[in-house]
Amino acid sequence: MRGHCTPDDLVVSCLLQQVFADMDTKTNLGFMLAVLFLCLFLTTTICFGVDIMSANHSLSGNQTIVLAGGVFVLGLFKPGNSSNYYIGMWYKQVSLQTVVWVANRDKPVSDGFSNELRISDGNLVIFNESKIPIWSTDVNSTSSSASVQAVLHDNGNLVLNDGSNLSEP
């Protein structure tokens, strides 16, 4: 997992420094500490982009994998007025959702929160609300399921690789 901070985070930091400089530190120490911890927590949360899904994690509902650079997003989506959900990848920075890849195009799911995308037996698998697999990458893997990771690369490729081998596939 990688972190990513934007220039806006530096602006927030400078504004906080100005606020703290203008305050009487003896009377407002508690307030300053509370604001500082809150800002550190929010900045850490905002700056954190997940681009790897390991075998002990899954995606469901509105959870996504976001490329650290912020170009692509992988997750469940519901196109237009459809009542179905799909696992797909779309551009993050485009205001109108532009889907570039769909996994379960022929087998949509009806409830985005009861279904999950996870790694099982070395494959990326979509399970329906009854925990029955409805889509899989169907890769013959020699790696143990626990070491396989789904990695979203800068070019938009979603790659399954052996997490114990840190080199590029």
Q: Is residue 30 pLDDT above 70, yes or no? A: no
| Model confidence pLDDT, tens digit, residues 91-134 | 888 888 889 999 899 998 888 788 888 888 888 899 988 889 99
Q: Do 125 and 84 sit in the same domain of this protein?
A: yes
Number of structural domains (the chain) is 2
Q: Which residue has the higher pLDDT, 45 or 66?
A: 66
Of 56, 52, 47, nearest to 64 by C-alpha is: 52
At 102 the pLDDT is 92
- 89: number of Cβ within 10 Å: 22
Closest CA to 63 of 95, 39, 87, 83: 87
Specify whether 8 is located in the same domain as 64. no
User: What's the confidence (pLDDT) of residue 56?
Assistant: 78
138 shares its domain with 153: yes
Is there a single domain that holds both residue 84 and residue 137?
yes
Nearest to 149 by CA among 103, 141, 87: 141
- What would the mean pLDDT of 14-34 be, rounded to a whole number? 54
Domain assignment of residue 11, given as a range: 2-49
Compute the CA torsion angle 74, 78, 84, 89 (nearest 10 deg): -20
Residue 79 and residue 59 in one domain: yes
Residues 110 and 56 in one domain: yes
Q: Which candidate, 117, 128, 124, places its Cα nearest to that of 148?
A: 124
pLDDT tens per residue, range 45-56: 333 345 677 777
Nearest alpha carbon to residue 129 among 107, 117, 119, 114: 114
96 domain-assigned: yes
